Every structure is written in structure tokens, then in C-alpha cells.
A and B are shown apart, each in its own frame.
Chain A
Amino acid sequence: MSEANASATRITPGNALRPEDIALRDARPSDAVGQYALWLGDDALILAQRLGWWISRAPELEEDVALANIALDQIGHARSFLTYAGRAWDRTEDDLAYFRREPEFRSVHLVEQPNGDFARTIARQLVVSLYQWELYSRLVDSTDATIAAIAAKAVKEVDYHRDHSIQWVLRLALGTDESRRRMIAGLTLTWPYVDELFADHPLIDGIDGAGVRPSTLRAPFDAAIRSVLDEADLERPAVPGAVGGGRSGRHSEHLGYILAEMQVLAREHPGASW
């Protein structure tokens, strides 16, 4: 993550919204909208940190690059959302990523779940990408112009993540006995963390129109996942939901370890840049 520079030169064509642009905008979210942006940014950041572990470890070089690409997309979304959230309290994206403690993170438990084997990571990725696509494709109509703009950029990338995970679910589920066994196991381990994605939280009542009420995403998500599972000849796991609480800063045992690794360098050398 880097300091915004005020240069007018752009390296990439087009005029997609960059985190640097958000930092320079006049728009400041309310405290509640800032909190909502933390939800989205933290989900993307922690997922990216998990996916980054696969670099050099994926089954094939090409898949290594594919997972790294998805992780980088998520880091991009996290940078935008955290930059915007930080405008509510005069904090930078780096302040929020590296100098918050575990209870201050607002990510759901799903994204902090262990990678396990490749099939388990794909199962987690399937759920996340279907959820994020449903969410961002509605957030493009957010009454908050910045959140709408971030979602408009992110939804195209998440659309690709969705395709990537569906392709792999089909291949693993309909591949060999071993790949199918692992896909089912991965889906079963992932499923308890689905409910939390759609649990309503009082915060949403205070930001009318800027966000999307999580419970309204449940039906489209269920329809989307059902069509994937049908095509893959998989059953929806019949396992009870886990206790959530991520949106209130209550996390599973995994997040602390993720943060320790993610934050150690910035805390060791505060203010350092590279």
C-alpha cells in the first residue's frame, strides 16, 4: 500500500477509480458508512491474506498465478474500501490495515477459515465470490457515490472470481473419486460460515441506501449456489451454522495468527514505506 500521489499522470488506460483518487476526494463518509466500508474492506483484506499463502504452493504454476490474481484483486478492493472508511476518522488505509487490533476488525468468519487443501480453498472461494457478486452488483446503486464507484469496479473482477471457482468446483466434483471426496469435504467444512454473511446487523439501519441489507442477498445467493451444486452433482451440506460475530469484532481463533503475520513488518517499522 502506498501514499496517494497527486500526480495527474495515469499509467493504466481508462479512468477506473483508484484508492489514490479516493484519498484525494472531498467525500467523507459518516461514522456509520465508514463502519460499513470496514465490513467490505476487511472481508477482502483477510481473504487476500489467506489466498496469498497459495503463492508458490498451488497445484500448478498457472493456478498459482490465478489465485494470486484473485488475491490481488481483493487487495485492490480492500485498499479502496479502507481508504474511504479511513476518511471518516482521518486514518489512512495503512493505519487501518496494520494498526488495528483483532476486535477492531469487522470481517466475517468465512474469510479467516484455513486454506486446507485446494478443494477447501475453492469451496471457500465459491461461497465468497457468489456472495460478493450479489453484494457488489447491488452496491453499484448505493446512494453513497464512492461506495457505488468502488463496487462498479469490483463487480467485474468478482465476476471472474465467480467463474474461476465454479470451473474448479465442477472439475473437482466431477473428476476422480479422490477429487470429488475432497470437494465434498471442503464444502462441508465451509458451510457453517455461510449464515453469517446474511445476518442483519443494527449498523445497516443507520446508513439507509448506502449499503445493502445482508438478509436481502440470501435468496439470490441460494439460487446461485443451488445451480452450481446441481451442475456439479453435489448436495448442499446439512450442517448447522457456526456462531458469527465478525461484524461486531468477535472472531475465531484464526484471525489473530493472520493479523500477526500481516502486521508484523509495519509494526516493527512504523511509517516505513517501500
Chain B
Amino acid sequence: MTGGSTTGDDGATAPSAGPQETRAAWPLWEVFVRSSRGLSHVHAGSLHAPDAEMAVRNARDLYTRRNEGVSLWVVPASSIITSDPDAKDRFFESPQGKDYRHATYYTKSEGVKHL
């Protein structure tokens, strides 16, 4: 036994000699939390878990410890398709300068009530 703790492993299970057995890493999950005052689930972070059931539980332990939420979603990170950060110009520049896409661009026509 190492580490000087008197209350830990009693050493009954000696580590096996030889190279460490490699384990496959747990897959990555993205966590979304809906707060009690929110209508939508908001991305809170990510975690590793062996499967979906454990991912929800780990999300509870990691992301709702201070009353942050009343509902959780976990999504395999591999299922999320992202926009290409290098394609910002083609994707997101187009609306700039197009004021007419905003309601405030337009003046109210005469005689229109309750707009």
C-alpha cells in the first residue's frame, strides 16, 4: 500500500506485474442543462461516460450540484455536427449590412394600429 493512508486499500489485491492493461477510453458526451427558470437547455460542458445512462448520472454529479437545473440532456459528442470555423466568412458574413432584414429598418405605414 502506498500513500500513507491508513484507511484505504488493505493491499489484498496486489497490482499485477507487467505492463498496465490498457482500457479503451470512455466516449465523450456533451451536457445540456435546463435551469428552473429557463425554457431551453443550455450547453454546460462535457464529460466522459461508458454509456448513455451513466452519462446522465455523471452529468447530474458534475453540473447540477448547486441547483443549476431541473432537466438534463446528454448527447454523444460524435453526434454533434459543427460548422467549420474556417468557413466563417461564407457562413456568417452575409447578414452584415443588410439592415432591411431587421424590423426596425421599416417605418410604420399610416393608419396601421396596434403594431
> Which residues of A approach B to under 8 Å, CB–CB?
12-13, 49-50, 53, 57, 60-63, 65-66, 69, 114-117, 160, 163-164, 167, 171, 254, 257-258, 260-262
CA gap between A115 and B11 in the complex, in Å: 10
Q: Do residues B61 and A62 form an inter-chain contact, with CB atoms below 8 A?
A: yes
Measured between C-beta atoms, what is the minimum distance from B51 to chain A in Å?
Answer: 8
* Binary contact readout B1-41 vs A (1 if CB under 8 angstroms, 0 otherwise): 00001111110110000000000001000000000000000
CA gap between A220 and B67 in the complex, in Å: 32
> Which residues of B approach A to under 8 Å, CB–CB?
5-10, 12-13, 26, 47-50, 53-54, 57-58, 60-62, 65-67
Measured between C-beta atoms, what is the minimum distance from A184 to chain B in Å?
Answer: 14
With a cutoff of 8 Å between Cβ atoms, the chain A residues found around residue B50 in the complex are 171
With a cutoff of 8 Å between Cβ atoms, the chain A residues found around residue B62 in the complex are 62, 65
With a cutoff of 8 Å between Cβ atoms, the chain A residues found around residue B57 in the complex are 66, 163-164, 167
Q: Do residues B48 and A116 form an inter-chain contact, with CB atoms below 8 A?
A: no
Measured between C-beta atoms, what is the minimum distance from A203 to chain B in Å?
Answer: 28
A49-B7, A258-B7 known; A62+B49 contact, CB < 8 A: yes
Q: How many A-B pairs fall under 8 Å by CB?
A: 60
Using CB atoms, name the residue of chain A closest to B8.
Answer: A53
A61 contact from B7, B8, B13, B48, Cβ within 8 A: B48
Measured between C-beta atoms, what is the minimum distance from A232 to chain B in Å?
Answer: 15
25 contacts between A and B (CB under 8 A): A53-B7, A61-B48, A62-B47, A62-B54, A62-B58, A62-B61, A62-B62, A65-B62, A66-B57, A69-B61, A114-B8, A114-B9, A114-B10, A114-B12, A115-B8, A117-B13, A163-B57, A164-B57, A167-B53, A167-B57, A171-B54, A257-B7, A258-B6, A261-B5, A261-B7
CA gap between A258 and B48 in the complex, in Å: 32
With a cutoff of 8 Å between Cβ atoms, the chain B residues found around residue A60 in the complex are 26, 48
With a cutoff of 8 Å between Cβ atoms, the chain B residues found around residue A163 in the complex are 57
CA gap between A183 and B54 in the complex, in Å: 18
Q: Do residues B13 and A53 form an inter-chain contact, with CB atoms below 8 A?
A: no
Using CB atoms, name the residue of chain A closest to B11.
Answer: A114
Measured between C-beta atoms, what is the minimum distance from B33 to chain A in Å?
Answer: 16
Using CB atoms, name the residue of chain B closest to A163.
Answer: B57
With a cutoff of 8 Å between Cβ atoms, the chain B residues found around residue A171 in the complex are 50, 54
A114-B9, A116-B13 known; A69+B48 contact, CB < 8 A: no
With a cutoff of 8 Å between Cβ atoms, the chain A residues found around residue B13 in the complex are 116-117
Q: Do residues B7 and A69 form an inter-chain contact, with CB atoms below 8 A?
A: no
With a cutoff of 8 Å between Cβ atoms, the chain A residues found around residue B7 in the complex are 49-50, 53, 254, 257-258, 261-262
Q: Do residues A65 and B67 form an inter-chain contact, with CB atoms below 8 A?
A: no
Using CB atoms, name the residue of chain B closest to A13.
Answer: B67
Measured between C-beta atoms, what is the minimum distance from A33 to chain B in Å?
Answer: 30
Using CB atoms, name the residue of chain A closest to B12.
Answer: A116
Using CB atoms, name the residue of chain B closest to A255.
Answer: B7
With a cutoff of 8 Å between Cβ atoms, the chain A residues found around residue B58 in the complex are 62-63, 65-66
CA gap between A53 and B5 in the complex, in Å: 8
Q: Which 5 A-B pairs have the closest CB atoms?
A: A114-B10, A257-B6, A62-B58, A53-B8, A258-B7
Measured between C-beta atoms, what is the minimum distance from A79 to chain B in Å?
Answer: 17
